[in-house]
Structure 1
């Protein structure tokens, strides 16, 4: 749901009835991740996607039914030998969806207006919670929403909003321990920007009837830091923006680090790279690309970068440069585990030569590293096309 927060927030402001179907589980070759959503308003307008096209029509009908009944629903879609070309995922995957209706009456109630046909109190509470969460996500603020996937409809009407500062809004309607345990799960997922389904006991612990919770997160764009204002960096900035990163270019030479040379960058910094890095607070999603291939710049930078809990550190240079760099970093005191995190020479072996081709090879390695891909042609492997995202690696792992 939060992946289409901007559009849904506009619908909320306009007081439009809508139902949103959110992917809660995937297996096999499912094309979208947990949290992907399709929403339909009362006029039949649809936004978003849950499957890339395979089951959109059936999910559209589910949303319309939820709007008519004001009842949440769950549904599984998957491949079947007898109906491979009917409703289902002919690619062999399986997805589960949770459909949540949000009526205009609930939204008016949440805004303080009187509703002519008031919905159930739990729907009003959830509407208020969802309005707040969608507004925060649309504004680019870190936020999470927790909903109950299984159990009675009364529970599935409720929602818990976990703000980026850790405060809570709404409730799941169970014991206080459930809200607190769900909030802990949401904060953990917020740190990596992931959405997932988690299972807790009804009291928030390990006891009682298990409750499955969908935890959706929305966080500001991950950061890409490009060090070295060279022509390869200009191409990498464009690719980084295409992938959705907030891109910073840093170089100590003001004649090269200019807005004219890097019009697509979100930020251009003139500073020694390691000085700039010392002043940054980076999360586990950040990627660092060191293109300086100059020892006086990249050695002090890499000494720091390889000890940070970031997703990716890559450095440009020949294989001879790489071996010399490793020797110097060992001398500086870096451990073998820390050095193993360095992707150098940077990028996948695509035979790239131009700045644009090189940027593509770097971006391909970042994507493969993020999702646990091999970087090999799909036609030459039997590995799943879509993988569950691996846990972020930390220094020393």
Structure 2
């Protein structure tokens, strides 16, 4: 729902449908939302198309009656046009009207504050938690950075592009970035708050820029640290980082050359390759074609292993030997469907909805 916040707050009234439970295979995860505005306009999605029309009708009814409802949608094979999930799973959808407390929560989330909100319907209570978006720090104001900033923003990151050269680091060159900073990369990173969800992408492939910033980045518990460059550049970079005293365990976290092997060469294609690795690390994917796997498409539990090569071995694929300095078993962020209870302390970065135990 947080992804729809700007539009929701611009409407004088709305009804919003949220996925609160998923069983089996379903096209959208817990937390996916769709909203209907005062004139019948619709934004968002709860099923990717399977049950959107039925949920839309429910939202229109809730908009008129202000009575929340909880609906279950399951597999239907009667007809291609029946209301049901053709993927074979089922999901529960909570539909509710806007309220002053919900609007306040959405505004607080847009302002960058962590928020938990509680919803009740038909004797069940749910909480949904929204954390500030993860940060993507892109170092190097080259043409590839514009494409990386654009796809990073599309993926929901708060994107910063940083370069020490003011002639290149301009907002006009990077319109998709939330911030464009003129500073030495290592100095900016040293003075910037990061956390375990932050991703760092170094595109300079110039030792005077990338060695200091990578030294700083690899000293922090970040979600992702990657660097652009050829395999020869990577090996030379490792030697320089060792000379700076970066320990082997930290060097093993460096994803270089950055990106998955997609075969592309243009800045846009390179950005897709980098984004693909970011998504795989973030959600525990293998990076392999889905057509070659027999495992469930939508994961409901943490995947086996934390590095792409470990996950590929579990999938039964032969894995190339890791390049020097790029060891297996690198810690990565896992993002399981964990129920979140109000006031439970730390919550996942993404919106999660879970069954609560109390009322009101």
Instruction: Give the shorter-chain TM-score range.
Output: 0.7 to 0.9
Count of residues paired in the alignment: 308
Please point out which of 47, 55, 58 is paired with 1:59: 55
How big is each residue's C-alpha offset from its partner over 1:273-305, in whole Å with a ceiling of 9 and x where there is no partner? 111101111233322111122222222211221
Structure 2: give runs of 5+ residues left out of the alignment.
307-329, 333-360
Please point out which of 213, 226, 244 is paired with 2:126: 213
CA RMSD of aligned residues (A): 3.0
Contact 2:76 2:83 in 1 (8 A): no
For 2:170 and 2:67, the matched residues in 1 are separated by 55
The 1:84–1:42 alpha-carbon spacing in structure 2 relative to 1, beyond 3 Å, is same
The 1:339–1:133 alpha-carbon spacing in structure 2 relative to 1, beyond 3 Å, is same
1:72 corresponding residue in structure 2: 68
For 1:228 and 1:91, the matched residues in 2 are separated by 43
Once the 2 structures are TM-superposed, how far is the Cα of residue 308 of structure 1 from its aligned partner?
2.1
Please point out which of 258, 262, 265 is paired with 1:350: 262
Q: Aligned ranges for residues 76-87 of structure 1 at < 5 Å? A: 76-81=72-77, 85-87=81-83
Once the 2 structures are TM-superposed, how far is the Cα of residue 22 of structure 1 from its aligned partner?
0.9
Structure 1: give runs of 5+ residues left out of the alignment.
103-126, 157-211
The 1:151–1:82 alpha-carbon spacing in structure 2 relative to 1, beyond 3 Å, is same
Once the 2 structures are TM-superposed, how far is the Cα of residue 83 of structure 1 from its aligned partner?
6.3
Point out which structure has higher relative CO (alpha carbons under 8 A, 6+ apart).
Answer: 2
For 1:265 and 1:338, the matched residues in 2 are separated by 28
Q: Does 1:232 align with 2:232?
A: no
Q: Aligned ranges for residues 13-24 of structure 1 at < 5 Å? A: 14=12, 16=13, 18-24=14-20
Contact 1:338 1:396 in 2 (8 A): no
2:92 corresponding residue in structure 1: 96
Contact 2:94 2:121 in 1 (8 A): no
2:226 corresponding residue in structure 1: 314
Q: Which of these two proteins has the greater Rg computed from alpha carbons?
A: 1
For 2:234 and 2:76, the matched residues in 1 are separated by 51
The 1:230–1:7 alpha-carbon spacing in structure 2 relative to 1, beyond 3 Å, is closer
Q: Secondary structure at the match of 2:141?
A: coil
2:340 corresponding residue in structure 1: none
For 2:299 and 2:161, the matched residues in 1 are separated by 31
TM-score (norm 2): 0.74
Once the 2 structures are TM-superposed, how far is the Cα of residue 129 of structure 1 from its aligned partner?
1.7
For 1:258 and 1:389, the matched residues in 2 are separated by 42
How big is each residue's C-alpha offset from its partner over 1:131-169, in whole Å with a ceiling of 9 and x where there is no partner? 3213333x43324233255762xxx5xxxxxxxxxxxxx
1:187 corresponding residue in structure 2: none
1:30 corresponding residue in structure 2: 26
TM-score (norm 1): 0.68
Q: Secondary structure at the match of 1:313?
A: strand
Which has a greater percent of helix? Answer: 1
